[in-house]
Structure 1
Amino acid sequence: MSEEPRRMIAADVVFDGESAHRDCAVAIEGDDIAALILRREIPRGADVLKLPKGVWLAPGFIDIQVNGGGDVLFNDAPTPQAIATILHAHRKFGATSLLPTLITDTDEKMIAAKRAVTEIMPHAPGVLGVHFEGPFISPERLGVHRADLRRAPSPHHVDMLAPPRGGVSLVTLAPEETPPGFIAELVSAGCKVALGHSMANYAQTREAMKEGLTGFTHLFNAMRPLASREPGPIAAALESSSAYYGLIVDGEHVDPAMLRLALRAGLGHPMLVTDAMPPVGGSGKGFALQGQEILVRDGRCETAQGALAGASLDMASAVRNCVSLLDLPLERALVFASTNPANFLGLGKRLGRLVAGYRADMTAFDPQTLRIVSTWVAGERSADEW
């Protein structure tokens, strides 16, 4: 890096992933952050972008569960073009990187999804890899996943699910529906493994964690509930300091009282996820999901029978809801949106903080409304202004 970085972004408040700094600037050199400096120490003649008064600058949000956006569903179109549309739709809500998520589908569709991610990643640094949510899930906790597509794993699935070149592979499964050692094989192949759509009991969950499972997909939803004599996966997640659990903070999927309780009791690392469907960043009021008609009613994506089918949530709203519904400080909500998911994916030394040596993925926003002002990915500012 040169002694005087060429570009600087100055803000009233810069949140670096741990602390908020007033009257600071982030210095960018190429793709990376070169330094965080006081505004009064900016060299004379430097190329400085001054953000509007009151605006915060923070690490870009990282969403590890994105089914769709911009009126596109990844299962319907597992192509680089569809991923680009989804990525653009979510960026306007502060998500600078994400995992396109394929719910339970055929092997052919899974192969196509991984191929599409592999193709787009060199051209779209905001795509971090792929999330396979299923197909090894419980018939008792399907949600809107198709029962006829769920199945037991075969030996070839380990190679199929291995991470795309240069990226991350997250696999959500039900441990009780997989043979002993399968999770360990996935972990050895480089996958991140999460429990979800599962009826695993407490003992089964603990065994899965011994094999290397570290994540819990949309905690509380589509899993065995917490009970007095069978604590199940929820207790196993909350009592482990090494666990990472996704939370859908939309006021619909989980009652805010339960989330507040989990955040007080949990020793692990909460992550905000959207579980977003095509209407996020799009114009449609409904969509088809593997043959089911899904409508958006009062912010809920639901089937004709009223069952939840993903969410119409975006990351900026999830952060705002943490403050308004869960009574959290903004800084803590921002950690849930960026630092924790980066660490879970094994990218915590590159993403999720605004410090020297990290990639310059940033989001600027109004701290009162969480309206996104601008975003940067690998130092490149979005061409859009919101």
Structure 2
Amino acid sequence: MIVRVKDVSKSFQGQQVLKPITFDLAEGERICILGPSGCGKSTLLQMIAGLLRIDSGEVEMAGVTVERGRHFIPPENRPVNMVFQDYALWPHMTVKQNMEYGMKRRKLDSKERERRIDQLRSLLKLDGLLDRLPSQLSGGQQQRVGIARALATEPKLLLMDEPLSNLDVKLRTDMRGELARLLGELSIACLYVTHDRMEAFTIAHRILVLRDGMIDQFGTPSELFERPASPWVAQLMGYHNRLEASLADHGKNVALLAGSPITGQWTGKESVTGPVVLMVHPESVSIHNGKVGDANNLLKVTVVQTVYEGTRWRVIVETADQQPIHLFHHKSLEPGSEVTVWLSPKQTMLYARGGQ
């Protein structure tokens, strides 16, 4: 294991922002820490880097305990580098000098420095930029330089704190694909903080969902999407339809929604009766055409609104008990008209009411 975090916690001014956190990161593995602002993502990353002291627990890197109790190895002596949200380049140094900085501090000879700079110049598409100052670069170019500088010392672990958040939407989409390719080619272990689900899906082998200082779910992107552990994780995964229902048959995972039987995926281990919550992905709701669907998952609804989104229409409908459902369709529908929709059992998640 490159990193082992065991029961690590942190408080600020009496307020606990991280409750005991435990997880491992293997060699070459990429873990994205996903969650909303204020959930403790950056705090966790800074404690692993050694920029913040932990209150309790233990951090181990490459088989060496770097922090436990009074024992503390400072960040400059840990096999780790960090890429910050604001790039943090030296403004008075050229691109090449920024890349060389860490290598010179570690007293690498000029031949080895040139070899690494040449390799990173090619990997990160920095041709023609080595003699420029950061102020002469675009945001995407500055971010690539920040990544190159972090990789130049060949750390065992790379920490990235929302490194693409300052880029525009198109550049961010392009960069996350390039970053996933680069990290894959270098086979470097990486902890990557983001609040963007698609960024996490593109980059991560596993995703650690953090909420209110605790791990809500930890697994592969497909595990999180196909079996979200809570309504909150389901919402994070794009299940934007939250519907209240009552459990009709726990054994067959059937709930009654506005009087209609709806089959879904039961997420809990407990046996419950009564009120439940259904989380349904908009992509898994379709207008019933008489050819597809389970008769148990048909629901009569009224069209409330349609919104044109370029390649398709977002249709907002309402159940008989006035609960809204969003779905996508290839054409507009008349507000006030009645239609029948089908809810895919595989992407309809059932949770005990009161779950978060």
Normalising to structure 2: TM-score of the pair? 0.30
**Bigger RCO (CA 8 Å, 6+ sep):** 1
Give the number of the structure whose residues are more often strand, by fraction: 2
* Higher Rg: 2
